[in-house]
Structure 1
Amino acid sequence: MSKTLVMNFLNEAGKKAAIRVNNVKEDVTEAEVKNAMDVILAKGIFTTSGGDLKAKDSAEVTDKNSTDLSVK
């Protein structure tokens, strides 16, 4: 099972922009995600076609399950 953290921000144009982090640890906490998002905003290291990221919008961890099928 692979977990992906999706952090959604609002940019200067008021549009949503997402940053995805693959293979996050099983026990990632809300506090850790909030802190990471705060650091991303404070450092200003990401920009979008709508300008710099300006505010946190939402975040979620998604699980991806896959099943291998024998088709040979």
Structure 2
Amino acid sequence: MSKVLKMTFNLLPKGTFIVAVDGVKADVTETEVRTVMESIKASGVFKPKAGEIDSIATAEIVEQTTTPVIA
């Protein structure tokens, strides 16, 4: 089962922007995620077409299961 960290940011003037990181460690903490998200926001490394990153919205770990249909 794969784990993906899904970080959602609020944009100005409106909307959201999602950054997803695959293979996140099982014991990642809120502090670690918040630090990364603040760094992303401050660095300006991402330039979403819909606007400018304004603030942190949410972060969640999504567990994915893949079942081959044709192998």
TM class by shorter-chain length? 0.7 to 0.9
In the TM superposition, what is the alpha-carbon distance from 1:58 to its structure 2 partner? 0.5
Structure 1's unaligned 5+ residue stretches are none
Aligned to 1:13: 13
Matches within 5 A, 1:1-72: 1-67=1-67
Q: What TM-score does the superposition give when structure 1 sets the normalisation length?
A: 0.86
Larger radius of gyration: 1
Query: Hey, what's the Cα distance between the residues in 2 that align with 1:47 and 1:11?
Result: 10
TM, length-normalised to structure 2: 0.87
Q: Deviations over 1:50-72 (max 9, x none)?
A: 22211100010011123457x78
For 1:43 and 1:36, the matched residues in 2 are separated by 10
Question: Once superposed, what is the RMSD of the aligned Cα atoms?
Answer: 1.8
- Residue identity over aligned pairs, in percent, reads 34
Partner Cα distance (2:29, 2:14) in 1: 27
SS in 2 for 1:55: strand
Note the residue ranges of structure 2 that are not aligned, 5 or more in a row.
Answer: none
Residue 17 (structure 1) shift: 0.8
Runs of 4+ in 1 over 2 A off after TM superposition: 65-69
